[in-house]
Chains A and B, each alone.
Chain A
Amino acid sequence: MKPINEMKLKFESRSVNEAFGRSAVAAFAAQLDPNIEEISDIKTAVSEAVTNCIVHAYKDTVGTIYIWTSLYADGLVRIRIRDYGCGIENISQAMEPLFTTLGGERAGLGFAVMEGFCDKVRVRSKVGKGTVVTLEKRIKGRDSDD
């Protein structure tokens, strides 16, 4: 299926850009007329993926974060978040709730939150090359009940 609209973003992995990343995607997806819950779901999931690029992928350096968002006529939003950072050695382990390689104040819940708020989450990664997280969410819209 062909998207009805697409946008591409590219920004530096500075923590101050977390709010920009999630708000930009949410503003673009607003064309599909999502309800408030659905907007919050998108914002939260994107925030998790972008934060992971900043705190894990590019740990002590500043790299580039890419976000592609595609909208489809049937209400599907597909968001791809890519980094050229350290990559993930064991993806299924990384996606387990409470698993974290950072400790401290990280809860290890980022992927669990993405999965909770999206219909589908897919991760591709290569150590030393980077990671692509694909989020998919179907917007039911403001006319629906939830």
Chain B
Amino acid sequence: MAVRIVHSPMRLTVSVSGEIDHHNAAVIRYETDEAIQSSLAPCVRIDFGDVTFMDSSGIGFVMGRYRIVDSYGGCVEVVNLKERIFSMMKLAGLDKYVTLRKKEKGKKNETNK
């Protein structure tokens, strides 16, 4: 379970890997929120490319980050979603609040520009 953070002027990228359940969400949330607090970038990109499992705790995690970022007028995008996780987020209605992007086949994670 790891969280990788990349800062750039306009975008904070948080790459999550491993399994997101209620237990792991605590650490992921802590590290993500630390990065959000220390960044002035208006956009937060959460990269799910290396997430191997997610239950409803993952939905709560994205929703919680949206609430924080939205409070200062920023935006959240969740990228590199595997089919299964994408449809869970869609079913939960997350696409009303954040941008959801599926994993593109054969493509490595987008570079953070």
- Cβ 8 A contact of A109, one of B25, B29, B59: B59
Q: Which residues of A contact B56 (CB under 8 A)?
A: 48, 51, 106-107, 109-110, 112-113
**Interface residues as binary, A21-51 with B (CB distance below 8 Å gives 1, 0 otherwise):** 0100000000000000100100110011001
A47–B84 touching, CB < 8 Å: no
| B interface size (C-beta, 8 A) | 21
Q: Which residues of B contact A19 (CB under 8 A)?
A: 19, 21, 23
Contacts A40-B84, A105-B60, A105-B61 given; does A48 touch B23 at CB 8 Å: no
Q: When chains A and B are docked, how far (Å) is the Cα of A127 from the Cα of B57? A: 25
- Residue of chain B at shortest CB distance from A109: B56
Q: When chains A and B are docked, how far (Å) is the Cα of A44 from the Cα of B60? A: 15
- Cβ 8 A contact of B59, one of A47, A104, A107, A116: A107
Q: Which of B21, B22, B56, B84 has the most CB of A within 10 A?
A: B56
- Total CB contacts across the A-B interface at under 8 A: 57
B53–A43 touching, CB < 8 Å: yes
Q: Is A93 an interface residue (CB 8 A)?
A: no
Q: When chains A and B are docked, how far (Å) is the Cα of A31 from the Cα of B63? A: 37
Q: Which of A48, A55, A107 has the most CB of B within 10 A?
A: A107
Q: Which of A22, A51, A104, A109 has the most CB of B within 10 A?
A: A109
| A interface size (C-beta, 8 A) | 23
State how many angstroms separate the Cβ of B22 from the closest Cβ of chain A. Answer: 5
State how many angstroms separate the Cβ of B113 from the closest Cβ of chain A. Answer: 31
State how many angstroms separate the Cβ of A143 from the closest Cβ of chain B. Answer: 21
Q: Which residues of A contact B22 (CB under 8 A)?
A: 15, 18, 51, 54-55
Q: Which residues of B contact A112 (CB under 8 A)?
A: 56, 91
Q: Is B3 an interface residue (CB 8 A)?
A: no
Q: Which residues of B contact A51 (CB under 8 A)?
A: 21-22, 55-57
A109–B92 touching, CB < 8 Å: yes
Q: Which residues of A contact B29 (CB under 8 A)?
A: 105
A106–B60 touching, CB < 8 Å: yes
State how many angstroms separate the Cβ of B7 from the closest Cβ of chain A. Answer: 24
- Residue of chain A at shortest CB distance from B61: A105
Contacts A51-B55, A106-B60 given; does A16 touch B92 at CB 8 Å: no
Q: Taking A51-B55, A106-B56, A116-B91 as given, write out 6 further A-B residue pairs in contact, using a Cβ cutoff of 8 Å, ordered by the A residue number.
A: A47-B53, A105-B29, A105-B57, A105-B63, A106-B60, A112-B91
Taking Cβ atoms with an 8 Å cutoff, the residues of B that contact A are: 19, 21-23, 25-26, 29, 53-57, 59-61, 63-64, 84, 88, 91-92
